[in-house]
């Protein structure tokens, strides 16, 4: 014979199952990713990921969003189930590195803008982007900003102005690992007819703001404890509710059994009382009928 499961054990089992379902739902909801930046080129997206990984952020990925001319690249950070405000600190680190960069307006075409002017503007942007990329490759450089003025065509102007450039370089080292002359030479080689002495250089030192790892870990632990407490409280609530329902059912069952027992006790007494009482119309009782029978037989 198989032993049946006690009602109390069934109640506890149901409460535990409901608590597990709640925990699973909350864990699933906490697995979302946060978009850190959306940029127009995959190269900049990779640069953002490299900077963040160097700063200790590991769970990063990039993917395309949009199609055609609207196609862009999104960089996402997975903060985990109990994030310690990682996204805010990741954005802070990107700002210290001048990322993501401000996107330039598209070069207008048609009207009074000739195709030659458009080509020159595109060439100037390409040269500036190449120089900035080379400057950021220098040791310790966090931000590099370049402004380039292309030389005028001497065949079109009587007094054409020469090429020039201005550069702002921010580094994080105590002492700059490069000189102003090195920056001037690097920039002048990237711009046609640009002399090193026509390159204005500003070098600044600024340490990126530190990332409070201890506070982030403490916040993550606090979130974990709050989650555990919420699950425990919910489980206790479900358990108490189930026990109350079970107690109510048991009281109803006991009342039903008591009523049935009283009815069973009252049944034989009523039959005996009816048998020993004379029936209507002058019929004899059971004792009188027995005595009368004995007299007739004698």
Over the stretch 133-182, which tens digit does the pLDDT of each residue have? 999 999 999 999 999 999 988 777 778 889 999 999 999 999 999 999 99
Asked whether residue 2 carries a pLDDT value surpassing 50, the answer given is: no
pLDDT for position 1: 44
Confidence (pLDDT) at 49:
95
pLDDT per residue over 7-36, tens digit each? 555 555 665 566 566 655 555 555 558 899
SS3 77: strand
User: Mind listing the pLDDT tens digit for each residue in 260-288?
Assistant: 887 777 766 555 555 555 445 444 455 55
Q: Which residues of 11-35 are buried (b: 16+ CB within 10 A; e: fewer)?
A: bbeebeebbeeebeeeeeeeeeeee
Q: How confident is the model at residue 102 (pLDDT cuts 50, 70, 90)?
A: confident
Q: What percent of the chain has pLDDT over 70?
A: 74
Calculate the average pLDDT of the chain: 80
> Between 243 and 51, whose confidence is greater?
51
Q: What's residue 214's pLDDT?
A: 80
Query: Model's pTM, two decimal places?
Result: 0.60
**pLDDT computed for residue 182 by the predictor:** 96
Average pLDDT over residues 83-101: 88
Measuring CA to CA, which residue among 63, 92, 79 is closest to residue 31?
A: 79
Neighbour count for residue 264 (Cβ, 10 Å): 9
């Amino acid at each position: 014979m198989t032993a049946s499961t006690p009602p109390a054990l069934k109640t506890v089992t149901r409460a535990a199952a409901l608590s597990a379902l709640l925990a699973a739902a909350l864990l699933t909801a906490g697995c979302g990713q946060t978009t850190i930046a959306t940029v127009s080129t995959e190269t900049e997206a990779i640069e953002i990921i490299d900077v963040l990984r160097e700063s200790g952020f590991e769970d990063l990925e990039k993917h395309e969003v949009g199609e055609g001319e609207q196609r862009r690249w999104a960089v996402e950070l997975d903060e985990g189930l109990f994030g310690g405000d990682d996204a805010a600190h990741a954005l802070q680190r990107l700002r210290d590195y001048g990322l993501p960069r401000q996107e330039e307006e598209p070069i207008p075409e048609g009207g009074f803008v000739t195709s030659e002017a458009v080509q020159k503007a595109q060439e100037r942007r390409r040269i500036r982007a190449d120089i900035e990329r080379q400057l950021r490759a220098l040791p310790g450089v966090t931000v590099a900003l370049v402004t380039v003025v292309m030389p005028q065509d001497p065949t079109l102007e009587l007094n054409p102005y020469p090429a020039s450039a201005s550069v702002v370089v921010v580094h994080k080292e105590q002492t700059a690992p490069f000189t102003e002359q090195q920056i001037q030479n690097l920039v002048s080689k990237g711009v046609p007819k640009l002399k090193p002495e026509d390159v204005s250089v500003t070098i600044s030192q600024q340490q990126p703001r530190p990332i409070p790892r201890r506070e982030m870990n403490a916040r993550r632990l606090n979130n974990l404890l709050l989650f555990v407490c919420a699950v425990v409280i919910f489980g206790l609530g479900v358990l108490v509710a189930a026990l109350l329902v079970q107690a109510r059912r048991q009281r109803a069952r006991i009342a039903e059994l008591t009523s049935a027992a009283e009815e069973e006790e009252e049944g034989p007494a009523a039959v005996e009382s009816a048998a020993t009482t004379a029936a209507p119309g002058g019929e004899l009782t059971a004792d009188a009928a027995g005595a009368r029978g004995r007299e007739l037989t004698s």
